[in-house]
Structure 1
Amino acid sequence: MTKEFAGKVALVTGGGSGIGAACARQLADEGAKVVVADMHLEGAQQVVETIKAAGGEAASYQIDVSDPVAVAAMVDFTVTTFGGLDCAVNNAGIGGPLKPIAEYEIDEWRHVIDVNQNSVFYCMKYELQAMLPNGKGSIVNMSSILGTNGIAAAPAYVSAKHALVGMTKSAAIAYSAQGVRINAVAPGYIHTPLVENSLDEESLKALVGLHPIGRLGRADEVANLTLFLLSDRASFITGSYHLVDGAYAAQ
């Protein structure tokens, strides 16, 4: 049986844990050669080892996605290592401080915007340059339910995720006729290190209560939708924003 991504090359940022790791593993399971990129090299290497142990092909890459020169080098590494780039998941991100906007330090704001928003521009810029000569490709940008909703204590994160949706739509309009599809996925609160490490047990319980489904999401559930959007089965889907949120945003 032919695997859905056989013969394709994929790049996943923030691939060393959580949603990124789930996407990287699923892509490899479906036959893709995967570059697992993360600021924390050890996490990326662990994901690569898991992929290789299952018979897949993967390589790790350490990256600070807020550095455009480093992002260009990452895409070049992907093309050089595996011969091209067909799919990309721009997933790397940080939560940032939890406090209202008047209390935010300027450097804190800039850091969150650099990692969560500017990095997606850098990634798409160089990913598109690798894809367009082949007349095909698919990109998924990892947004959030906070790409349309807001909360008082995360103004930088909310701003970046809103902007990411706008970038996705603009890029999809610009490049869909050239064969590259670009979509955004919007997870609700997912059991990932980003959530678990930033909140205490009481806060985590409160988050569960915000989801009518009665639980937080799983990384593999977000990866399931991401892979569909990357695949040829989603050939007429581009410029869209897709929720995976247990009805959080439906309230």
Structure 2
Amino acid sequence: MDLRGKVALVTGGSSGIGSSICLRLGELGASVMVGYRTRGEPAGEVANRIVTEHGVEAEPCELDVRDYEQVTRIVNGIIKARGRIDILVNNAGVGVEGAVTPARPVEEWVDVIHTNLIGSFFCIKAVSLHMLLARKGSIVNVSSVAGMVGIPGLSSYSASKAGLIGLTKSLSKEFAPYKVRVNAVAPGYTSETGMVERIGEEDICSIRERIPLRRLARRDEIAETVAYLSSDSTSYVTGQTLVVDGGLTA
């Protein structure tokens, strides 16, 4: 795979799967805008690693995906400075655990949808005009196996990730005439991520037993799949969700 000369914007790029995605895209030669909302210092460290280790341009980019005006302003600024955005990876996401009960605040549930689903839509809407006019581009939405199977206590997260899969399918057909591809990646349980770190060791052992490959995913394995969909190696792939879960949902 070769991404030299391409410009990528990755939301939620300061840590976890997002940072691994940024590093892999940079390793393949892309200039990377490392999107973050509050973690500016870690985002700067990711950008510095890309510059130092791979000799390509990278910089942190403060971006609250819930704010459409800010998203549009940032995207237009990148276009003005870099000339284009070739790759958009919608990775920013949050999850709030808790059953749906009358006592839980509505705002908690809605905020997850606003960030994970509507935030991704905002980024796509801001970037799409430039991609459609250029008649090229790759959009990769980071969904989850939670969007394919129900997980108790994570209804808002599951709903948001299922929505991303539906959004991917619909937009892939809308954008196909303009040669812009839209795909998704659905990771399973992935080590060194916030969600897994909140799970107790006993439950992790139980999860491993249910995974045919008998282990959690590594972050670089998710990043490799995102890079694959971002590249011209998948020039005839659009509207698809690649599940990376060790066979959990097979």
TM-score (ref. length: structure 1): 0.94
Which amino acid is 2:32 matched to? V
Gaps of 5+ in 1: none
Contact 1:147/1:161 (8 A) holds in 2: yes
Partner of 1:213: 213
Partner of 2:229: 229
List aligned pairs for 1:102-251, cutoff 5 A.
Answer: 102=101, 104-250=104-250
When structure 1 is superposed on structure 2, of 28-37 and 71-80 the one drifting more is 71-80
In structure 2, how many angstroms separate the alpha carbons of the residues matched to 1:176 and 1:41?
35
SS at match of 1:213: coil
- CA-to-aligned-CA distance 1:118-144 (integer Å, 9 cap, x gap): 101101101111211111000000000
Deviation at 1:229, TM superposition (A): 0.8
In structure 1, how many angstroms separate the alpha carbons of the residues matched to 2:29 and 2:80?
19
Contact 2:145/2:188 (8 A) holds in 1: yes
- CA-to-aligned-CA distance 1:24-45 (integer Å, 9 cap, x gap): 1111111111100011111211
Deviation at 1:154, TM superposition (A): 0.3
SS at match of 2:4: coil
Partner of 1:37: 35
List aligned pairs for 1:6-155, cutoff 5 A.
Answer: 6-39=4-37, 40-54=39-53, 55-96=55-96, 98-102=97-101, 104-155=104-155
SS at match of 1:228: helix
SS at match of 2:160: helix
- CA-to-aligned-CA distance 1:53-96 (integer Å, 9 cap, x gap): 11221011112111111211221232123221001110000111
Which amino acid is 1:87 matched to? I
SS at match of 1:248: coil
In structure 1, how many angstroms separate the alpha carbons of the residues matched to 2:218 and 2:156?
24
SS at match of 1:216: coil
SS at match of 2:76: helix
In structure 1, how many angstroms separate the alpha carbons of the residues matched to 2:27 and 2:79?
20
- CA-to-aligned-CA distance 1:169-195 (integer Å, 9 cap, x gap): 110000011010000100001113322
Identity of aligned residues (%): 38
Deviation at 1:197, TM superposition (A): 4.0
In structure 1, how many angstroms separate the alpha carbons of the residues matched to 2:81 and 2:28?
19
Gaps of 5+ in 2: none
Which amino acid is 1:113 matched to? I
In structure 2, how many angstroms separate the alpha carbons of the residues matched to 1:50 and 1:173?
37
SS at match of 2:249: helix
SS at match of 1:102: coil
Contact 2:211/2:246 (8 A) holds in 1: yes
Contact 2:17/2:193 (8 A) holds in 1: no
Contact 2:147/2:161 (8 A) holds in 1: yes
TM-score (ref. length: structure 2): 0.94
Deviation at 1:212, TM superposition (A): 1.8
Contact 1:17/1:192 (8 A) holds in 2: no
